[in-house]
Amino acid sequence: MILVYINSTNGISKASFEAVTYAKKLGDVIALSNGSLSSDDLAHIGSYGASKVLVDRGVSGDDQQQVTRMIAEVASSNGVNTVVFSHDLHGKSIAPMLSVSMKAGLVQGAISLPDAEGCIDVNVFSGKAIGKVKVNSSSKIISLLPNSLPPEETGTACAVEEVATQAGNALIKVLSTKKPEGEIPLPEAELVVSAGRGLKGPENWGMVEDLAQILGAATACSRPVADIGWRPHHEHVGQTGVAIRPNLYIAIGISGAIQHLAGVNGSKVIVVVNTDPEAPFFKAADYGVVGDAFEVVPRLNEALKKFKAS
Amino acid sequence: MKILVCISKAPDTTSKIAFTDGNSKFDENGVQFVVNPYDEWYALVRALEIKESTGGHVTIINVGQGSDDAIIRKALAIGADEAVRIDAEAKDAYYVAMQIAAYAKDNAYDLVLTGKETINYNGSQVGGMIAEGLSIPFVSLGSKLEISGTTLTVEREIVGGVQVIEVEAPAVISCAKGMAEQRIPNMRGIMAARTKPLNVIPAVDIADLTSFVSYEMPGEKSAVKIIDPENMDELVALLHSEAKVI
Ligand SMILES: Cc1cc2nc3c(=O)[nH]c(=O)nc-3n(C[C@H](O)[C@H](O)[C@H](O)COP(=O)(O)OP(=O)(O)OC[C@H]3O[C@@H](n4cnc5c(N)ncnc54)[C@H](O)[C@@H]3O)c2cc1C
């Protein structure tokens, strides 16, 4: 039996449906969540292949160790040998704890199904290579990188069952939470518009935000731009920032240093806008525009508006 | 505060990535190794700041072989008081974490800090595993840490935002950007590091749970298509009909 953990902090994400789709390709699937997601939303997980969804409403999710105990208990009472997470910030930190508590080998950031030898691909060296991981234990934990396979909605809604596990108390007390409204979280975004030092100053980001808005994209930036405070730190992508792999990455006024590329070279399609035809980013790009961002971006925005209207 | 900082050896960010032995091993030839940036810039420097403001003792710990001593000395030069190297090949994250947990169990630390991930294996695994191994709380992706008595106040990154939480020591915190600023070791630090204790201790018997069987390089990108900067309609059309991303 395969168990998929559904993180409840921001509604059910597309990445969770991807995890259920992935799990379904490995065997029979049940899902487990906690917190206050509505039963209708949880039942919808059935459409992606889960036969039932369990939910423990007494576990808030603030203490990831408490979540770990909840999952371990449900796994052991349901004969689960594989647990699948979506590799978001929540799954990323719960999966290692569960690995210890279940003594189950962990594949962190999986990008493929197991091959004939049971090996699973993961990105290593910040996306510069792919490693094939073999799990040596009988139980397994797989944390699936978002955007690694398309979610497949093939079935119908399933039953939702409330459970009360012995997960114990939360040892972490939340004092405050800040969630920027209406923004697309960068690691999950399918389209990303990013800009670098070539933009000269924070006052010039208006056209970049316009571009993101027209596309429905998230915004990102290079490290120096976050370091000087032109943009917030959570937008910093690269080897020492967030690693992303959207369908489309548009890089404006970014040179394409190796540390920057390390965080974005998993993107399906890369567009680069740069005045310097020798900028290293062009080597990693699918489409390149050699030109001044201050002329090219407004022009691109107009072209996109025309396209969206047609 | 008795603080344990876990440090890992990682190839410098500009290293050429290649593999040997039938693509089963990372090719260390000509590679410059550094302290994993997250461990150094954020975990270690924050530990030193805490020690400087409230007193305490900072031990760094590494699971690795003799070739790791150079980066351990570097971390000592930045200011750690002493170092422990558990003498073993770092087989997988579980193996490393269980070695550190076994050591920490016998030495009662108030705080264990790790980097949020390494830049070579990018696993984000060791911190959570140590916490679970020690049965103490784990806070991931800390970007600020304040201490009052035994209460730790941590700002952490969560899905779609940030959160401020409180937890009682002892705890494990994985450190991310914001925690501290990189420190460059000075001459005095480098001299002092030569004589600071580096205790090499044997590993405990633990089986690894995973192994890397082989590696491959991602497929070559096809050549970039250059678009006339005057003609953004063409770019939009290509993104729609050729790349199919909009
Ligand atoms: C250990 C380490 C880790 C690092 N980690 C990261 C990381 O995670 N992420 C990261 O991004 N960087 C990282 N860096 C920094 C990295 O090496 C580069 O310095 C950085 O990415 C450069 O940012 P940039 O491209 O915005 O700026 P620059 O290198 O200054 O490039 C600006 C670009 O804009 C172009 N330009 C100028 N004017 C215009 C215009 N009007 N229109 C269009 N283009 C224009 C220029 O031709 C140039 O190519 C790291 C460095 C180190 C040493």
DSSP single-letter state for residue B195: H
Instruction: Write the CB contacts of B195 (distance below 8 Å, at least 6 apart in sequence).
Output: none
* Residue B200: inside a domain: yes
Q: Are residues B216 and A129 in contact, defined by beta-carbon separation less than 8 angstroms?
A: yes
DSSP single-letter state for residue B171: E
Class of residue A224 by CB neighbours under 10 A (exposed 0-12, middle 13-18, buried 19+): middle
Q: Do B157 and A89 touch (CB under 8 A)?
A: yes
Instruction: Indicate which of A70, A87, A102, A286 best probes the interface with B, i.e. most B CBs within 10 Å of its own CB.
Output: A286
Instruction: Write the CB contacts of B171 (distance below 8 Å, at least 6 apart in sequence).
Output: B111, B112, B131, B136, B137, B138, B139, B152
Instruction: Give tens-digit pLDDT for B39-71.
Output: 999 999 999 999 999 999 999 999 999 999 999
Instruction: Give tens-digit pLDDT for A122-173.
Output: 999 877 899 999 999 999 999 999 888 999 999 999 999 999 999 999 999 9
Pocket test for ligand 1, best of A274, A282, A296 (most atoms within 8 A of CB): A274
pLDDT at B212: 96
* pLDDT band for position A186 (cuts 50, 70, 90): confident
Q: Which helix (H) or strand (E) holds A269?
A: strand A269-274
Answer yes or no: is pLDDT of B9 > 90: yes
Helix axes B93-107, B126-134, angle to 10 degrees: 40
Q: Ligand 1 center to residue A261 CA distance, Å?
A: 10
Smallest Cβ–Cβ distance between B245 and the set A127, A137, A247 belongs to A247
Answer yes or no: is pLDDT of A179 > 90: no
Rg (CA), chain B: 21
pLDDT at B130: 98
DSSP single-letter state for residue B15: P
Amino acid letter, residue A186: L
Which CATH entry fits the domain spanning A2-162: 3.50.50.60, 3.90.650.10, 3.40.50.740, 3.40.50.620?
3.40.50.620
Name the minimum distance, in Å, from the CA of A297 to any CA of chain B: 9
Instruction: Tell which residue, B1, B4, B89, B2, has the closest CA to residue B43.
Output: B4
pLDDT at B108: 94
- Residue for token digits 């930190």? A93
* Residue B223: inside a domain: no
Rounded to a whole number, what is the largest CA-CA distance in chain B?
68
* Residue B171: inside a domain: yes
Chain B residues with beta carbon closer than 8 angstroms to that of A100: 94, 97-98, 128-129, 132-133
* pLDDT band for position A242 (cuts 50, 70, 90): confident
Size of interface A-B (CB pairs under 8 A): 270
pLDDT at B121: 86
CATH of segment(s) A186-309: 3.40.50.1220
Please give the ipTM for the structure prediction.
Answer: 0.93
Smallest Cβ–Cβ distance between A89 and the set B19, B141, B221 belongs to B141
User: Number of structural domains, chain B?
Assistant: 1
Smallest Cβ–Cβ distance between B236 and the set A132, A136, A307 belongs to A307
CATH code, B97 = 3.40.50.620
Of A12-16, A117-121, B107-111, the least confident: A12-16
Instruction: Give tens-digit pLDDT for B199-229.
Output: 999 999 999 999 999 999 887 778 899 999 9
Q: Are residues A34 and A61 in contact, defined by beta-carbon separation less than 8 angstroms?
A: yes
> For residue A117, what are its two tokens?
């030898």
* pLDDT band for position A10 (cuts 50, 70, 90): confident
Give the residue-averaged pLDDT of A41-56.
97
Helix boundaries (H) for chain B:
37, 45-54, 69-78, 93-107, 126-134, 187-195, 232-241
pLDDT at A191: 96
Pocket test for ligand 1, best of B12, B13, B35 (most atoms within 8 A of CB): B13
Give the residue-averaged pLDDT of A49-71.
96
Q: Are residues B151 and B137 in contact, defined by beta-carbon separation less than 8 angstroms?
A: no
Parent domain of B213: 2-218
> Between residues A74 and B120, which one has the greater pLDDT?
A74
Mean pLDDT for chain B overall: 95
Alpha-carbon distance B243 to B240, whole Å?
Answer: 6
Answer yes or no: is pLDDT of A183 > 80: no
Answer yes or no: is pLDDT of A288 > 90: yes
Instruction: Write the CB contacts of A98 (distance below 8 Å, at least 6 apart in sequence).
Output: A68, A71, A72, A83, A104, A106, A141
* pLDDT band for position A181 (cuts 50, 70, 90): low
Q: Ligand 1 center to residue B185 CA distance, Å?
A: 25
Judge whether A2-162 and A186-309 match in fold: yes
Residues in contact with ligand 1 by the CB-under-6-Å rule are A 196-198, 222-225, 238-241, 253-255, 257, 259-260, 263, 273-276, 279, 292-294; B 13, 37
Answer yes or no: is pLDDT of B167 > 70: yes
Name the minimum distance, in Å, from the CA of A88 to any CA of chain B: 7
Q: Ligand 1 center to residue A194 CA distance, Å?
A: 11
Answer yes or no: is pLDDT of A182 > 70: no
* Residue B245: inside a domain: no
Instruction: Give tens-digit pLDDT for B67-121.
Output: 999 999 999 999 999 999 999 999 999 999 999 999 999 999 999 999 999 988 8
pLDDT at A127: 79
The atom number, within ligand 1, closest to the CA of A222 reads 11
Instruction: Write the CB contacts of A143 (distance below 8 Å, at least 6 apart in sequence).
Output: A84, A85, A86, A87, A91, A92, A95, A106, A107, A108, A109, A110
Instruction: Tell which residue, A76, A84, A106, A137, has the closest CA to residue B129.
Output: A106
pLDDT at A270: 97
pTM, full prediction? 0.89
> Between residues B222 and A298, which one has the greater pLDDT?
A298
Q: Structural domain boundaries of chain A? A: 2-162, 186-309
